[in-house]
Amino acid sequence: MNKILLQGIKKRLDEKAGRWADELYHVLWAYHTTPRTAMGESPFNLTFGTEAIIPIDIGVPSPRVTCFNERLNEGRLHANLDLLEEVREESQIRSAAYKQRVSRYHDTKIHPREYRVGDLVLRRAAVSQPIKAGKLSPTWEGPYKVVEVIRPGSYKFKTLDKNQLPHAWNSKNLRKYYQ
């Protein structure tokens, strides 16, 4: 389930602990009508070609409701629908640019792990034996001794019993073992 939706439901469930289904509608409405940072548009706008009027605007007089002109509104709705494909394409371009910026920022903060021949390492169990992976299974297995550095970030190693492992391992699936 979406993390943002869960956070929204939790915020609304102060006294209504067992009635989360009643609050789901409000959380979904807020989620669909709020513009996303990555896209610059709300999902509602990308779907229907116009911004939604929030329920409070109908009950409390706001400039958007008091200055409403049905004839002008209909013309603007048709114009919005005509431009909807362009809005979607711009949103897709903004989303791709946002993902590149986030990726670039992330990559500047990541420092590759480097091991030397003779270092003891643990390897990720879920990668070596994906079928056995479960909630209660161990996350790491080993220790193993690094025998060869094939290239930066790629290593061959052997068990402490001197048995060579057949495949090279990427450093993202390894971590240093401390005795």
| CATH code of the domain in which 169 resides | 2.30.30.140
Same domain, 73 and 99: yes
- Residue 43, classed as helix, strand or coil, is helix
Who wins on pLDDT, 155 or 61? 155
Is residue 2 assigned to a domain?
no
The residues pairing with 146 across neighbouring beta strands, listed in sequence order, are 157
Same domain, 81 and 134: no
Same domain, 124 and 101: no
**Domain limits for position 163:** 120-176
Q: Can you give the pLDDT at residue 17?
A: 66
- Residue range 48-55: average pLDDT? 82
User: Edge-to-edge, what's the strand order for the sheet holding 169-170?
Assistant: 169-170, 154-159, 140-151, 120-124, 174-176
Percent of the chain with pLDDT over 90: 26
Same domain, 95 and 125: no
Q: Are 169 and 134 in contact (CB under 8 A)?
A: no
Is residue 17 assigned to a domain?
no
* Domain boundary residue, one of 87, 109, 131: 109
Same domain, 102 and 61: yes
Predicted TM-score of the model (pTM): 0.55
Is residue 162 assigned to a domain?
yes
- Report pLDDT digits (tens) over 118-167: 999 999 888 777 676 666 677 888 899 999 999 888 999 899 888 888 88
Estimate to the nearest angstrom the gap between the alpha carbon of 150 and the chain centroid.
33
Same domain, 48 and 79: yes
- Residue range 12-36: average pLDDT? 81
- Structurally, the chain folds into a number of domains equal to 2
Q: Are 165 and 157 in contact (CB under 8 A)?
A: yes
Same domain, 93 and 146: no
- Report pLDDT digits (tens) over 69-96: 888 888 888 888 899 999 999 999 999 9
Instruction: Average the pLDDT over each of 15-19, 38-42, 175-179 and give the range with the smallest value.
Output: 15-19
Is residue 151 assigned to a domain?
yes
Same domain, 98 and 142: no
* Domain boundary residue, one of 109, 135, 151: 109
* Domain boundary residue, one of 109, 128, 158: 109
Is residue 94 assigned to a domain?
yes
Same domain, 45 and 74: yes
